[in-house]
Amino acid sequence: MTVIDPPAQVDPPVSPELETGARRAASRRGFLLGLPALLYLTVFFMVPLGIVVAYSFATRSRTGRTELRDWNLDAYARLGDDVVRTIAVRSLWIALATTLISLVLAYPLAYYMSTRTPTVRNILLVGVMLPFWSNFLVRTYAWRVLLDSDGLVSQATQAVGIGETRLLFTPTAVLIGLVYRYLPFMVLPLYAAIERIDWSLVEAARDLHASAWTAFRRVVWPLSLPGVIAGSILVFVPSFGAYVTPAILGGNKEGLLGSFIVSQFLSARNGPVGASLSVVVLSVMLVATLWYFRSGGRNL
């Protein structure tokens, strides 16, 4: 993740000693403001993360307890199995498809929202969040009702003469479920980015006889890029590790990374392999995210 420089401190031109003093004071204040979050995340995130790393080198006892002895790389060696590669690639494709579909659905919506009056905008925004204050599992089961062979979707396709469609327990159903679950995570940052665009730039482009499409491509799209990047990360990351939605709507007939990690930790009670896979997934995601942010050239 790139760190953009904070707005330049607008210290008046004063003697070097005073300037150093002011900078020190600012540094101290920044430190004090950031300290609570830093401490909190260190104790309750970084330390737990360290334990997972330790577990990945540990040994499974006969009863399935993870014992911190006989340090070894066996758990990492297991990740070379064909089955792990297959499910990793499959999870990657599903996450990419979910992200792309969400972007295509969310962008016009965010654009539409940001061109409404403020009151309508607020209503539309709350409208995006509202469904997510019911229960996630219950919503997913409601999708089952919509997608099964006498569900609404099937009845609609029958009505237009395509015949009965059973989407439930297909990869399409998994995609529908994942897009549904994570679409708001795409809409919110996109809206935040598009809404801030200085529309006089678009006007200027149009004045210079740019077509609507050119104006969009050359002005709006580049300016909304931070939102696109933030949104795609917020969608890609959780759909890569998702396991409840694919299980309920996809029938779990094909392995995915999330369910594989869960089955290692729970069914097999194999802490080291679950931990090693988590560590690898986290490292890859971190590097990918850093690279993605850098290539976007902006922070969130």
Partner 1 sequence: MKGVARSTTAPTGAARWWLTAHASLVYLFFYAPIVVLVLYSFNDSRIIGGWDGFTFRWYGEFAENRSVRDALAVSFRVALLSTAISVVLGTLSALSIERFRWRGRRLLDGVLYLPIIIPDVTMAVMLLVFFSEAADIIDRLPFIDLSSGLETLVISHVAFNISFVSVVVRARLANLDPSAEEAAADLYANRWQTFRRVTLPQIMPGVIGGALLAITLSLDDVVVSSFVQAIGSTPLPVFVFGLVRRGVSPLINAVSVFMLAASTGLVLVSLLVQRIRSSPGEPKELIP
Partner 2 sequence: MNRFKLLTLLTALAIAIAACGDDDDSETGGGGAAEGATCEPGEVDGDLALYNWSEYIDPELITAFEEEFDVTVTEDFYPSNEEMLARVQEGASFDLIVPSDYMVSIMIEEGLLTPIQADAVPNLDNLADRFASELPYDPEGEYSVPYQWGTTGLGVDLAVVGEDVPHTWGLVFDPELSQQYAGKITMLDDPRETMGAALKYLGYSLNTTDPDELAEAEELVADAIPRLAAFDSDQYDDLLIQGESAIAHGYSGNFFTAFEEGESDYEYFVPDEGGTVWVDNMAVPTSAAHPCTAHAFINFLLDAENGAALTNWNFYASPNAAAEEFIDAEVLEDPAIYPTEELNERLEFIEDTGDFEIEYTDALSRARG
Q: Point out which residues bind partner 2 (CB under 8 A).
A: 31, 39, 42-43, 60, 62-65, 83, 86-87, 141, 144, 148-150, 168-169, 247, 250-255, 260, 263-270, 273
Determine contact, residues 55/271, Cβ cutoff 8 Å: yes
Site for partner 1 in 235-264 (CB under 8 A): 237-238, 240-241, 243-244, 257-258, 261-262
Q: Judge residue 252's burial from the number of C-beta atoms within 10 Å of its C-beta, 0-12 exposed, 13-18 middle, 19 or more buried.
A: middle
Query: CA 289, CA 62: separation in Å to the nearest integer?
Result: 38
Q: How far is the CB of 150 from partner 2 (least distance, A)?
A: 8
Q: Is 211 in the site for partner 1 (CB under 8 A)?
A: no
Q: How far, in Å, CA of 8 to CA of 165, rounded? A: 59
What gap in Å lies between CA 140 and CA 56, rounded to an integer?
33
234 binds partner 1 (CB under 8 A): yes
13, 63, 80, 126: which one binds partner 1 (CB under 8 A): 126
**Which residues, listed in sequence order, are joined to residue 60 by a DSSP beta bridge?**
66
**Residue (170 or 289) nearer to partner 2, CB:** 170
Give the x/- contact pattern for partner 1 in 264-293, rule: CB under 8 A: -x-----x--xx--x--xx--xx--x----
Report if residue 297 touches partner 1, rule: CB under 8 A: no
CA geometry: angle at 62 spanning 57 and 65, to 5°? 55
CB 168 within 8 A of CB 248: no
**Binding residue for partner 1, selected from 44, 80, 209, 267, defined by CB under 8 A:** 44
